[in-house]
Structure 1
Amino acid sequence: MRDLRIGRRAVLGAGFALPVVHAAATMARVAPADTDEVFWKGIAAQYDVPSDVIQLENGNWGAMPRPALAEYLRLVERVNRDTSYYARRGLVGDLIAAKADLAIELGVPAEDVALTRNATEALKALILGYNRLKAGDAVLYADLDYDSMQACMESLHARRGATVIKIALPEPATRQSLIAAYTAAFDAYPRMRLVLLTHLSHRTGLVIPVREIAAAARARGIDTIVDAAHSWGQLDFVLPDLNCDFIGLNCHKWLGNPLGVGAMYVRRPALDRIDPDPANDATMRDGIHSRVHTGTVDFAAQLTLPAALRFQRSIGAARRAARLKMLRDRWVSRVRRLSQIEVLTPDDANLHAGITSFRLHGLTSDAANAALARRLLERYRIFTVHRSGVTRGACVRITPGLFNNAEQMDALAAAIEDVASKPPTA
């Protein structure tokens, strides 16, 4: 599946085509590929970005590359022009084809995938629809999980009578310490039935070993729901690599699709563990589509999926992941040696992707880190964002995108070095 995905040629319109990246060549040339600045300059040219700042806050959502934007605008015109004449005659078939293309990229059967408006909607449907909880059963989440998903897990106390457990993930983290943090909680609560795992944290960028933790959970009779909102597209994997039954993700962060498209995956044998959405009537109770109800959506955004996928396939998943890690490593390698700086993801390549957060030593408040992000913008014209909710303290998140380059990461490192030499007060 992955070889076909990476090796597919994509002609992107407007006379622009990117070179084919075959799987074998990608695996053999990861190091050169991530620093091939001629190639990446061509990729960057396909994005329109702000000219007055270095944009290093690409985690909220991702900019569409020009081929996807052009296709989206074309589809907006069509949907606006033909409205229900198209919706009641050809739209459904086109949406099925778009979802099938997405499923190929995800490495799973199309019938196990439902389109949503975002990862939050997908994960909300999975968490609140999970029906194997009895009063007194326990559920687990961590401090680095997304706020809305934490709230959904907390609501299971009132909804299902569940005991809700929250853990703080280790900092600094190792693969073994992460596995140990979850398994210790599993063993401390014999009635644990459900765990939420965030594959790649939006707060710090930490990547956790989902497959190993989920296997430990399964051995104890615990189901796993995976938040892959940030990992899919940053890391090189397909959903079966995680070996989990329930996954939520989106397509407008790292795929470069228009805003308003996500996906929910439920492995077919596990479908009965998620209740149908009550908004679906009795004729729509079967299949994964019955587990979520979105109402009317931006059809043009969903129909743009094949164009966004073509663009990403022309780069290749392994090459994209290597580039994002290289951009991250470029600035981290310079600032990690500073005693005043705490980098919140380890250098273990399996535990980070492109996102990484940092804080100044001793400055852990939201206010201090919001001020630091402002300082980076106002003094150095580098746009970042502060993140709260980490047990050991707030931080500033750095999120490079495919249009960023090594020189911009060097500028960030220099700015952090300058800030560290004369830090603000807490």
Structure 2
Amino acid sequence: MTNQPKQKKKHSLLRTLLYRFFTGLEIVIKFCFFIPILLFMVWFSHKVDISGLFQGELAPREVANMLLAGDTVSNYDKMDERAVLKLYVQNLPEDQVPDTVALGSSRVLQLRQDLVGGSFFNMGLSGASAMDIMNCFYLLDKEGKLPKNLIIAVDPWLFNGDSAADLNKKADTELFSEFLQKGLGMTSDYEEPDKLELWKALIDPAYFQGNVKYALKQRATGEATTEDGESIPFQAVTGDLDSLDNNVKEPDGSVLYQADFRNWDYDQVMAEVLDQAGTLDGLHGFSQMDPYWTDLFERFVSYVQSKDVNVVFLLTPYHPFIIKHVYNNPQGFEGFFEVEPWLRSFAEEHNIPLYGSYHASRIGVPESLFYDGLHCKPEALKLYFPGIEAALQGLQTSYEAQYLETYGADNADLVTNALVGTTADCLVVDEEWFAAASAS
């Protein structure tokens, strides 16, 4: 009789354990049925992502996807260029990484694939600062999508410490801090972001509902809109591009200006040149090349070369009137005159091909091949840049060789020492000679 309580206690414990086991098993089975629903919520919210938490904001995402699909995209002026490039790199398939990438400001955006040769993408940004240029390369590096060749269009303001803060306003400062620390091994204020809260959005029912509503609406209307329902003003452009009424971004990243700007007459061009001469954003207060930004540029180029990427420097010319204006009003522009000689010396020391000049006469670009004071036409680039393969071998264009042979002998200081010497004059080439030489 004394053993009965113990047996009852054992049976009770066993029943409790079995009950807990089967209850737990039931919960697991029910949860397993719920897992596909949870996974679908995560996948759908990540794919639609109306707030751009993972895929980037909807408008620049739309542009990046069109460029990746090979479309020419309208309304370039309304684009968030930096966001577009970030998403372009992020979504670029590894087997489509271009052989050659160009970095620089809007002054390089006329460089096109047909001139460069091979697969090419132009990552130029309007008003690009030194920070922007390094960020663009680091984006490619982070994603493991480095090109074989890098064309760096070096603007003089990259070395102007006085204007750096203003030029860097649009740049991604967090990305730059990460590059300094992880890429160049320099001290910075970079901190690894806490992504836990961000990823919680993927299992948030409210975010899932918002994504579903957006996707259904877009499917019903066929119209791409922002999260707030505003129309996204970017469309794929088809047909003849010669009569465009807005600036467009082409599949190779270059920009084609609207027709009325491309067709300005001499008086219209000169009116804009005169206005730009009075501002020259990025060059004012340029009393000398800034030691910090000069040193950082050297480190950056060394970093690029350490990745087995070929580097080519490209200098795009200023309109002759701009050069004349700067020479006649040198105070505050002293650093501008230091840049090109320094770059040529640096390029030679590091075996980097350099093409172009800030002085149009050095490379034989006539006044007629400028859109305004800062931007030359694609036809100007063709005069002195021979394409990437020839550039890597240090070869000249046929035009450049003829120009130096014809005009260099009698104008050695003007042509070979422009922006190294003291002259601001610009040669006026014979029209018949130019037509024949540029056509050859």
Give TM-score scaled by structure 2 length.
0.25
**Higher alpha-carbon Rg:** 2
Work out which structure has the larger RCO, using CA pairs closer than 8 Å and 6 or more positions apart in sequence.
Answer: 1
Give TM-score scaled by structure 1 length.
0.26
Report the structure, 1 or 2, having the larger strand content: 1
Report the structure, 1 or 2, having the larger helix content: 2
